[in-house]
Amino acid sequence: MPVSTASASSLHQIETVDIALGERGYPIRIGHGLLGEAASFDGVPKSAMAMVVSNTTVAPLYAPALITALRKRHARVELIELPDGEDHKDWATLNLIFDALLAHGADRKTVLYALGGGVVGDMTGFAAASYMRGVPFVQVPTTLLAQVDSSVGGKTGINHPRGKNMIGAFHQPRAVVADLDTLATLPERELRAGLAEIIKYGPIADAEFFGWMEEHLDALLAREAAALRYAVRRSCEIKAEVVAHDEREAGLRAILNYGHTFGHAIEAGLGFGTWLHGEAVACGMVMAADLSVRLGHLPAESAQRIARLIERAGLPVVGPRLGAEQYLALMRFDKKAEDGEIRFVVVDSIGHALLRGAPDAVVREVIARHGG
């Protein structure tokens, strides 16, 4: 289990979860008021220049404080604001980052800081992996979904019209700084979407955590600080352990995609940005739980528990009517597919997941029930 520690500064309590990847390991720092403190970025390489990559929604809220803190570490700090939204997670927007790096004369020591949600984090990481064949970057996630999932683990990339995150690279950040204060400005819909990725960790890895979520969901929805802090930390601990054992998704790490095979099909089928990623994953988890039951892995009552918690979180449990054949066609582009066979993350008990194939006929039954 990754080590989670707490250290006190004069102002804030910081909890740290370490990603154990040897020389490429890094800390995830979780706490309040971290974004504006230079000490939050201890261990990140110092350089003459840094580039903060954000979007037009987040930058006005948090970029000034981050830039002020970073000026204690970098002589020059530049800001680029990208358009906001999943529908901008593409080549054209990625090229805006490269344009800015070249225009400002960024070199191989320039550090990129991803200030925003999963879209900003994924694109900044991909730019960092690609620019001059690799420069350092730091994740500064400002959404709940990014803090518990997309900022951790080194997956970076952009979408293709035929599949989500199909173009990208593995490139680990030098640190993740999750300032819980940023969740105060998060729209309600975004908060609920983030809860989907937290809920995911229970069925795949921790039955006790799933029970804790059932008990504390109302506190999470009310943004109670203690509940959010624990949920973010425990989610990061689970993901850190999985990533440490399987950095490049050769096996175990695939379980983190529970609900994502159906969910990515929903996103691509509707058009990226129509449903939030967490909303699509939530519905995908319900569908994957039903598939688990139909394949004989999971008791029906356990699937019902999963669906009830997702519904209580205000997340969709019925998918869009794309048609079974479109679902299947889109899922064949999923990164877990092998030789055209769709591979699903299924659950055999709450707290344990497997990667399995499934007959198309059974998948059609799931789609017919939940969104075909």
Q: Which active-site residues does the annotation give?
A: 133, 155, 197, 239, 249, 253, 257, 260, 264, 277
CA–CA distance, 259 with 111 (Å, rounded to integer): 34
Q: Crossing angle for the helix pair 225-245 and 188-205, nearest 10 degrees? A: 50
